[in-house]
Amino acid sequence: MAVITADSDQVGALQAATQDRSAPVEIIVPELVHHVLPGPEFVQGYRAGVEDLSRRLGEDTTEEAGPVFDDSAEATWGLQAVGWGPEVPAAAGIRVAVLDTGMDLEHPDFAAREITAKSFVEGETAQDGHGHGTHCVGSACGSVSEEGRRYGVASEAEIYAGKVLGDEGSGSDAGILAGINWAVANQCAVISMSLGADVREQHPPYVVAGRRALERGSLIIAAAGNNADRPGDPGFVGTPANSPAIMAVGAVDSALAIARFSARSFPGVGGQVDLAGPGVDVFSSWPMPKRYLSISGTSMATPHAAGVAAVWAGVTGHRGLELWATLDKESRRLELLSVDVGAGLVQVRS
């Protein structure tokens, strides 16, 4: 870069010269003069105070937001909300692990997909006997429904379905950590975990596992938890999502309001919600013969974020902490509290 002094008529001629692609100068711009930012205006502060007070008194002065998104014939509201469109790359070649109740390996929507499935639950195969895992795999890596409605983000990703929760929906750390280890060993760029315990204290094994996975290029994305009952009780981010090196995902509804059940950040490293995803009335795959089901939870928001992460991993080549930063940077800021939605709603394109 160089700073030069030029007459005003010379500036135009210089700028025109840079239009020539062979010119060695990329851009010429006039120098700007920057000023110290003015302090907060009194009137602005007064108005914000009045609005806040009336909100607290239950007299919301802002307009009530109606549904912003709706399931359409082409795509679920969640896919629309994360910015999906037919031109968005589908994460081909990226491995995504979903550690959950396994997956319905006979589901017709996944017949043509590359799937690696493994059970870490003694006495059970990777076949999903609950439904939760099949639903989560659907949002992260599914494609279109029988009727042609798109419901999965990373529709060309390689699926690693790890069964770490049994058909009854329960599992211990032993299976979950074994599943993480398996996903890391298989170089999964993204590990989606819609599971947790309502335990506020950080659980040391996940603190270390999250860090070591991240160092090896696997980003763990976990559900913030459903222990809130808003507006009275905002809940808290449970383990393992409260581990500093694991991303925590909260849930918003189709009006982009925080979901009633979505857990809030609490003070301290790791206890924060990092991102939000679509998590209310989410349409996705379910074990046959039902085939599809719409359910709610931060469990549903999490695989949306994982699918989005897989797309960015494919587009940018970023892994680990760099992929984490990309998700943060690209997310859509919401007019909600950051303690509820972190950096905002995950977005699949800039």
x/- string (CB under 8 A) for another protein, residues 212-251? xx--x---------x------------x------------
x/- string (CB under 8 A) for another protein, residues 277-306? ------------------xxx-xx------
Query: In this structure, what are the phi and psi dihedrals at residue 333, rounded to the nearest 5 degrees?
Result: -65, 140
Interface with another protein, residue 131, by CB under 8 A: yes
Cβ atoms of 200 and 236 within 8 Å: the answer is yes
Structure tokens at 156: 């060309």
CB closer to another protein out of 86 and 123: 123
Give yes or no: 170 in active site.
Answer: no
Q: Which residue has the tokens 């335990």?
A: 199
Which residue from 286, 325, 279, 323 is spatially nearest to 304, judged by alpha carbons?
279
Q: Rounded to an integer, what distance in angstroms lies between the CA atom of residue 220 and that of residue 246?
A: 5
Q: Rounded to an integer, what distance in angstroms lies between the CA atom of residue 134 and that of residue 142?
A: 10
Interface with another protein, residue 192, by CB under 8 A: no
DSSP string, 218-242: -EEEEE--S--BTTTB-----BTTT
Contact with another protein (CB under 8 A) among 85, 204, 268, 317: 204
Nearest-approach distance from CB 342 to another protein, in angstroms: 20
Interface with another protein, residue 190, by CB under 8 A: no
Exactly one of 100, 104, 253, 274 is catalytic; which is it?
100
Nearest-approach distance from CB 73 to another protein, in angstroms: 24
Which H or E run includes 159? strand 158-163
CB closer to another protein out of 104 and 330: 104
Interface with another protein, residue 83, by CB under 8 A: no
Nearest-approach distance from CB 27 to another protein, in angstroms: 46
Give yes or no: 167 in active site.
Answer: no
Cβ atoms of 188 and 233 within 8 Å: the answer is no
CB closer to another protein out of 74 and 167: 167
Phi-psi region at 20: left, alpha or beta (left = phi > 0; alpha = psi -120 to 50): beta
Angle, helices 204-215/173-185, rounded to nearest 10 degrees: 10
CB closer to another protein out of 265 and 296: 296
Q: Rounded to an integer, what distance in angstroms lies between the CA atom of residue 110 and that of residue 89?
A: 18
Which of 16-24, 68-76, 209-217, 316-324 is the region at the interface with another protein (rule: CB under 8 A)?
209-217
Residue 164 is given by DSSP the state -
Q: For the sheet containing 247-252, what is the strand order?
A: 115-119, 158-163, 95-100, 190-193, 219-223, 247-252, 275-278
Q: Rounded to an integer, what distance in angstroms lies between the CA atom of residue 138 and that of residue 294?
A: 12
Contact with another protein (CB under 8 A) among 205, 266, 332, 336: 205
Q: Rounded to an integer, what distance in angstroms lies between the CA atom of residue 298 and that of residue 328?
A: 18
x/- string (CB under 8 A) for another protein, residues 148-187? -----------------xx--xxxxxxxxxx-xx--xx--
Q: Rounded to an integer, what distance in angstroms lies between the CA atom of residue 270 and that of residue 241?
A: 8
Beta strand 158-163 pairing with 95-100: parallel
Exactly one of 299, 304, 331, 340 is catalytic; which is it?
299
Contact with another protein (CB under 8 A) among 110, 120, 283, 292: 120
Nearest-approach distance from CB 122 to another protein, in angstroms: 6
Exactly one of 132, 135, 304, 318 is catalytic; which is it?
132
Give yes or no: 172 in active site.
Answer: no
State the catalytic residues: 100, 132, 299
Which residues form the interface with another protein (CB under 8 A)? 101, 120-122, 130-132, 135, 165-166, 169-178, 180-181, 184-185, 194-197, 199, 203-205, 208-209, 212-213, 216, 226, 239, 261, 295-297, 299-300
